[in-house]
A and B are shown apart, each in its own frame.
Chain A
Amino acid sequence: MKKCLLSFAACISLLTMGCGNSASENTAEAVAQKQQTNALLAESKKNASEIEKLNEQYHEVPDERMLNNGGQNSPVYKELQQRYKTQLGAMKQSVEATGAKFVVVIITPEVGKNISALTRYGHPFIKQACTDLGVDVYDLSPVIAAQDARVITQVPRDGHWSKKGAEFLANQLDPILVKYAGHKSTKTYADAERPETFGDLAPSYEEILDGGKDMPYKVTSNAQGLRMDHDIKFPKAKQHILFLGGSQFFSPFLDNEFIATTLLQKKHPEMEIMNAAMIAGCTDDFLSQWEEKAKYSEPDVVIVQTNGTDITDLFFTNRNHMARTKKPYYPSPVEEKYFLETYRK
């Protein structure tokens, strides 16, 4: 009998470790919530099926080679540039509607003289677009390019920041924070309006990841799904700085304590540094993330990380594979023409 009980306890402890609580109260509110969830699930299922169809039909995702042989002048790249600019404009408008300051920082971990075509053609365009839109832009790529890749990144194993690189990045971002130190937004939200999370990480998440590269690192999120170790409190008592961006802000292969935003937080305890960055994100993702959840963190300054990859990442096949929204992206006539000429000849 004791043996049976012990075995039963072992099974139960395992099940409780792996499964969360699924109990819910059978109230009218719960029923309504269930109906809403079912509707969302149905839509999500429909979208997933549509994306699957599109991915089968249009499987390939173009990379830097899109810009080979004069590709920077091609209609498809021009269209993606325009799309990028439109999204940046929409984001600026939405951010500034809250009274927050919208700032763009160009960051790419490319080092040395052999910069990629994505940077060569992308960065001048981004800077010009920001100027046209009246957005403050800081291009950190030249100062990064002058560094030693073996020091600031984890090459040869991976091109993302090393501990030294994160320190370097924090030092580059620091003057930008100081510059906007006095800026205050005007928009506030009631607690009931706020979504469960402001970032895309699961709330209060702590796990070891390795990116499939045997480079283990610990990711910790706060209760609001941001890559940081403490929760954001409301009404806010400090200036809120929100970092939106891709892996350059997320910093895979480094524990929370070593990433640039944590270092900045230590340096500026008078500010609330909020890291909502995601791996493999682009402006399309930052915009949807902002609208859906990040804006409810009531930032006073929003710093968006971008680079030339964000332009080509807007190609519809990339979006269908990578976008966080999981909605189908259909090709424009120009994109379809490019796709067929490139991959179906």
Chain B
Amino acid sequence: MLFNTLEFARFFAIVFAVYWLVARWPVVQRVVLLAANFYFYSNLHYSFPIYLGAMIWVGYLFAMAIDGQEDQKKRKATLVAGICILGFGLTYIKYSGLILGSIEGLSRWQSSALGILVPLGISYYTFSSIGYITDVYRKKVTREPDFIIYASYISFFPHLLSGPIPSSATILPQFRKPKFPSADQIEQSIAEIGWGLFKKMVVAANVEKTVNYCYAHYEDLNGSTLFLGVMLFNLYLYADFSAYSEIARGVGRLLGIELTQNFKMPFFSRNPGEFWRRWHTSLRKWMLDYLYLPLGGNRGSKFKYVMVMLFIFSFSGLWHGANMTFVCWGLLNGIYFLPYILSDKLTRYKNVVAAGRLFPTGKEAMQLALTFFLVTLTRIFFRAPNMTVVKGLVVKIFSASVLEAPMTLVLQKVAWCIPMLMFEWVQREKRYVLELGRNNMALRVAGYLVIGVLVYELRAKVNASEYYYFKF
């Protein structure tokens, strides 16, 4: 059940109505939400809820065990055991093919391992569970005694498949007493859902096949077409993934849960550090809280700092997939950080670029273009199925054929992304993209109607495809 389908709209309409009708009975309301979550997940495959249920129980029981311990050593041992069990589940299901496949003589095991159906969203709820028990261990959050509340938090259908990865400190308490959204919140939800649908159904869906074509036919295409194809993938990935996150936020808010903002217009970043503060922020925060800081962060020597950063990015690559291409993608991102770490400029640019102005300065424009170019290069690794394709793409893109005329069709598809970028640029200082004139109701309604018409008229006439980030 995808967000951009009528099936989901019907499902959500029923859940929304029932959920708030029974709001005066909190226990019933929680059961309704939990049932909706599991129904949503079982709709993808009947077996998925079994694994999700097991993960929820593991997280719940380990949190209870940690909370019940006074002895610090035992608490730590229990935490480590919990992380190992949750991590093992994820590793076995998602990575056994890579691990066993790389060891000679284990082909018999490999074949059985490869037969496992990987539940969609497994990485997300495993990370949520690990985050929660770690927070309980650190006493950052009080353990949630109500199993249904905890289970609803982990399995909450808006963030289940593609995040945002919830932070137990800020998101979990909201499940205890969700509040009916205010008029302003409802409007914000509608606006975010509308913009999300536009990005998914108009932008991402219209360019997806062209991206696939470029990567599949890299041997037949020239360097300029391939570079545009990789750039198009960069834009597609943003449109697709941020669309999911925005719809998730909109839907979550309508159910009284305010999810993390996962994307803060990352293409308007002046260096890679700023880009990563704006792209997939919930994963970044998870990495920061549960890996970067425990590993020492930027304390100690620069060499250690660099090593920690490279490790974090390699780990992030592996989180995306059991493939060398993802490891290289992570490492390349880490390497981008090196000059900024060495010159202590990594954490610059915390404000919005060209704040209060319509156009950036020449320097800012150059910085934006360079960051976009660097990120685009990483997408060669991110989308290629293997290193052979990576090599083929790199050789072509860095050959003289990059100066030839690109395929017109690919150029046209890039044009689909430009209105999205233009509009987001104009609105980059707002709380959300479709925030249009607070005191002008007519303008806002007109804006929503225009987006509705655009989505209907320009939606790609293809079957709804899955969101790209489901696979992670």
Taking Cβ atoms with an 8 Å cutoff, the residues of A that contact B are 2-3, 6-7, 9-11, 13-15, 17-19, 206-210, 212, 214-218, 255
Nearest B residue to A12, CB-CB:
B419
Residues of B close to A215: CB separation below 8 A: 216
Which of the residues B213, B418, B419, B423 comes within 8 Å of A208, measured between beta carbons?
Answer: B213
Asked if B209 is an interface residue, CB under 8 A from chain A, the answer is yes
CB proximity of A211 to chain B, nearest CB, Å: 10
Q: A15: which of B210, B418, B454 is its contact (CB, 8 Å)? A: B454
A216–B423 CB distance below 8 A: no
Taking Cβ atoms with an 8 Å cutoff, the residues of B that contact A are 202, 209-210, 212-213, 216-217, 220, 358, 408-409, 415-416, 418-419, 422-423, 426, 450, 454, 457-458, 463
B409 touches which one: A13, A17, A19, A206 (CB < 8 A)?
A206
Chain B residue with the shortest CB-CB distance to A220: B409
9 contacts between A and B (CB under 8 A): A10-B418, A11-B419, A13-B415, A14-B202, A14-B454, A15-B457, A208-B210, A208-B212, A216-B213
Least CB distance, B207 to chain A, in whole angstroms: 9
Q: Which residues from B are CB-within-8-Å of A209? A: 209
Known contacts A18-B458, A206-B408, A212-B463; is-contact A6 B450 (Cβ 8 Å) = no
- Chain B residue nearest in CB terms to A217: B213
Q: Is the CB of B212 within 8 A of A216?
A: yes
Q: How far is the CA of A13 from the CA of B423 in the complex (A)?
A: 12
Nearest opposing residue in chain A for B425, CB measure: A6
Knowing that A11-B450, A216-B210 are A-B contacts, what are 13 other residue pairs whose CB atoms are under 8 Å apart, sorted by A's residue number? A2-B358, A6-B422, A6-B426, A10-B423, A11-B454, A14-B202, A15-B458, A17-B416, A207-B409, A208-B210, A216-B212, A216-B217, A255-B220
How far is B416's CA from A11's CA once the two chains are assembled, in angstroms? Answer: 11
Q: In the complex the two chains form, is A216's CB within 8 Å of B358's CB?
A: no
Chain A minimum-CB-distance residue to B359? A2
Question: Least Cβ distance of A154 to chain B in Å?
Answer: 12
Q: Note all chain A residues with C-beta closer than 8 A to B220.
A: 255
Do A13 and B418 form a contact, CB below 8 Å, given A7-B423, A208-B209, A209-B209?
yes
Nearest to B415 among chain A residues (CB) is A17
A293 to chain B, nearest CB (A): 24
Closest 10 CB pairs of A and B: A216-B213, A10-B419, A18-B458, A208-B209, A216-B212, A208-B213, A10-B422, A14-B419, A3-B426, A208-B210
CB-defined contacts of A218 to chain B, threshold 8 Å: 213, 409
Query: In the complex, what residue of chain A is closest to B413 when comparing beta carbons?
Result: A208
| Residues of B contacting A9 in the complex (Cβ-Cβ under 8 angstroms) | 422
* A216 lies within 8 A of B415 (CB): no
A156 to chain B, nearest CB (A): 16
A25 to B463, CA, bound (A): 36
Chain B residues with CB below 8 A from A206, complex form: 408-409
Q: A7: which B residues are within 8 A, CB to CB?
A: 422-423, 426
User: Which residues of chain A are near B216, meaning CB under 8 Å?
Assistant: 215-216
Minimum CB–CB distance for B352 against chain A, Å: 14
**In the assembled complex, how far is the CB of residue B406 from the closest CB belonging to chain A, in whole angstroms?**
13
Closest Cβ of chain A: how far from B211's Cβ, in Å?
9
Query: Once bound together, how far apart are the Cα atoms of A7 and B454, in whole Å?
Result: 13
Of B210, B212, B408, B457, the contact of A214 (CB 8 Å cutoff): B212
> Please, which residues of chain B bring their CB within 8 A of the CB of A212?
463
> B64 → chain A, closest Cβ, in Å?
44
Cβ of B422: which chain A residues have Cβ within 8 Å of it?
6-7, 9-10
CA distance A154 to B217 in the complex (A): 14
Chain A residues closer than 8 Å to B419, beta-carbon distance = 10-11, 13-14
Q: What residues on B are CB-neighbors of A10 within 8 Å? A: 418-419, 422-423
Question: Complex: how many Å from CA A11 to CA B423?
Answer: 9
